Structure 1
Amino acid sequence: MVADFTNKVVLVTGASAGIGEAIALLFAKLGAKLAIVGRDAGNLGSVAKRCQAEKGLAPLAIVADLATDAGCDKTAKDTLVHFGRLDVLINNVGVGARTCIQRADMETFDRVFSTNVRGVYNLTRQLVPALIKSKGNIVNISSIAGTCVSVGSLPYGMSKAALDHFSKLIALELAPLGVRVNTVSPGVTISKFVQRLTDYTEEQYQAWLQEASGSIPLGRVCSGEDIAKMVAHLASDELSALVTGTVVQVDGGLQYSSVGGLMQKQMK
């Protein structure tokens, strides 16, 4: 059975690049009516065109910063005004940081938590009434950094651990109302995320990905499409009707190997 989101309204945050872009493109292929959110208008517009090319449905592209109350308010309002409903909320937006307590500053902490925790909390609370009406569901995108400890993961790892717990708490609260909540926790994934954090050149980044693949039991890093497929599986009522409160790790088994050593190399 293949997930089918025909006539389902799906909101994807952080959709202008990386994992969010892959999620948006897959849901477009699966027939969803999309609202996509990002801060980069140019990139978001490009993703919207590619989504429309799949099934001819033009996504609602919302340029907003979800670290701000105004950005969350705009996203929730524009989505509901345009579509009149919401079936699936995919909280993918996130920012990273590479630091440790000896180098920590509060500006970095606030920037990471404003997007990865507060923004998700704020947008979700505004859209829960619509999801209750539709008996919809939520998929949050976390990271194995939320469960695997490594030097240099402050405050990013903390924010993802908070997101995992947030997901479980609201899954319990919303289950009697017919709303499922699940989390996908990627491992090392091909995107510009790590490259931006480390200032690696393209050559250095490719070398790092190659080294990372050697540390992964299944032998390769994740693609955005790998993550998107799990998101679609969890968001599908046909495939995951009784799945809620889960944190599904898509990492090739990395959490069982030398993740600490791999991630700490980024701090050097």
Structure 2
Amino acid sequence: MSFAGRVVIVTGASSGIGAATAVEFAKQGAKVALVGRNEANLKATETSCKAANNKVELLPIIADVTVDAERVVKETVDKLGQLDVLVNNAGIAETGHILDIEVEHFDRVLNTNLRAVFLLTKYAAPHLIKTQGSIVNVSSVAGLRSFANLSVYCTSKAALDQFTRCIALDLAPHKVRVNSVNPGVIITDIYKHMGMTKEQYAKFLEDCKATHALGRVGEAKEVADSILFLASDKSSFITGATLPIDGGRHAMCPR
């Protein structure tokens, strides 16, 4: 899956799945625009990419995808010359019961997980048409299944999956493919950002052995590998797909 000479944007590249994806693209020779809000974490990803391939060409972009989508695409194309792959990975998760959550909660999650993807896709599409490139959206098993106290997050990811399918049809005549990956529980910092303590997180991971058919949670690299597959010529006849990377969780029906 060589990406030599290809230009890739990875949003949310400062940690977790985004950082792992950036490293894997670097290994395969891509020029990678690393997009994130946390400058220190983004520099850590940059270091990891260079450790994977000391000849890699990187473009760190400090940006908030909810307000900087047009700038992200423009800066990438201006400085790296083209755009072949857009990985919409940046996202947030917040918990809350419908009796307690506020409108601001809804707006914040939808703005990041859906509206920003719309904007990045809109601005990237003309450039991807030129290269007959591809888009990979990072959704969630929460887009395929329902969970209590996660209504807004689940809604945002379900909408993202439908957006993926619709844009796949819009761009298919232009030979641009659009797909999503739907991770289950992956070891990242997102759960800490949701407010879990170290002890709660440890118990959560232990409980996940029963909620994932394979009896474990996933690693960020396992999602990254699937993202690269969907972005590569190896998946040249796949578009409009939502691929669960969840150890079988989407197939389980707890009694």
- Partners of 2:103 and 2:86 lie apart in 1 by 30
Q: Aligned to 1:16, what secondary structure does the other structure show?
A: coil
Match of 2:186 among 166, 189, 194: 189
Equivalent in 34, 41, 45 of residue 36 of structure 1: 34
Match of 1:266 in 2: none
Mapped partners of 1:178, 1:253: distance in 2: 31
Among residues 244, 248, 255, which one is paired with 1:249 in the alignment? 244
| Letter paired with 1:177 | H
Preserved contact between residue 142 and residue 163 of structure 1 (Cα < 8 Å): yes
Given the alignment, which residue of 201, 219, 235 partners 1:240? 235
1:207-263 superposed Cα distances (whole Å, 9 cap, x missing partner): 2111112221111101101100110111111x101000000001011122257x9xx
The answer to whether the aligner puts 1:202 opposite 2:198 as a matched pair is yes
Letter aligned with residue 110 of structure 2: F
Cα distance in 2 between the residues matched to 1:194 and 1:54: 27
1:21-60 correspondence runs (5 A): 21-56=19-54, 57-60=56-59
Q: Is the 8 A contact 1:234 1:243 kept in 2?
A: yes
User: Which range moved further: 37-46 or 206-215?
Assistant: 206-215
- Structure 1 runs (4+) greater than 3 angstroms displaced: none
Q: Which SS does the other structure have where 2:235 is aligned? A: coil
Q: In the aligned structure 1, how far is the partner of 2:101 from the partner of 2:161? A: 23
- Cα distance per residue 1:10-66 (max 9 Å; x no partner): 110000001101111111111111001000011001111211222221410000001
The 5 Å alignment of 1:124-203 reads: 124-197=121-194, 199-203=195-199
The answer to whether the 8 A contact 1:48-1:58 is kept is: no
1:231: which partner in 2?
Answer: 227
Instruction: Output the aligned Cα RMSD.
Output: 1.3
Equivalent residue number for residue 67 of structure 1: 66
Q: How much does 1:154 deviate?
A: 1.9
Moved more, 128-137 or 250-259: 250-259
Structure 1 residue runs without a partner (length 5+): 262-268
Which residue is equivalent to 1:218?
214
Report how far residue 195 of structure 1 moved. Answer: 2.3
Deviations along 1:160-209, whole A, 9 cap, x unmatched? 01100111001011111110000000001111112221x22223212211
Inter-partner Cα distance in structure 2 for 1:202 and 1:21? 22
* Structure 2 counterpart of 1:265: none
Point out the more displaced range, 87-96 or 214-223: 214-223
- Which letter maps to 1:243? I
Question: What does 1:97-136 correspond to in 2, within 5 Å?
Answer: 97-136=94-133
Count of residues paired in the alignment: 254
Matched residue SS, 2:206: helix
**Retained in 2: the 8 A contact 1:183–1:246?**
yes
Q: Structure 1 CA distance, aligned partners of 2:148 and 2:51?
A: 43
TM-score normalized by structure 2? 0.96
Structure 2 Cα separation of the partners of residues 220 and 41 of structure 1: 32
Q: Which runs of 5+ in 2 are unaligned?
A: none
1:108-136 deviation digits (Å, cap 9, x = unpaired): 11111111111110011001000000000
- SS of the aligned residue for 2:201 comes to helix
Encode CA deviations 1:89-113: one digit per residue, 9 max, x unaligned.
0000001110121112111111111
Distance in 2 between the 1:81 and 1:181 partners? 23
- Provide the rounded CA distance (Å) in 2 between the counterparts of 1:151 and 1:83: 44
Structure 1 distance, partners of 2:78, 2:156, is: 31
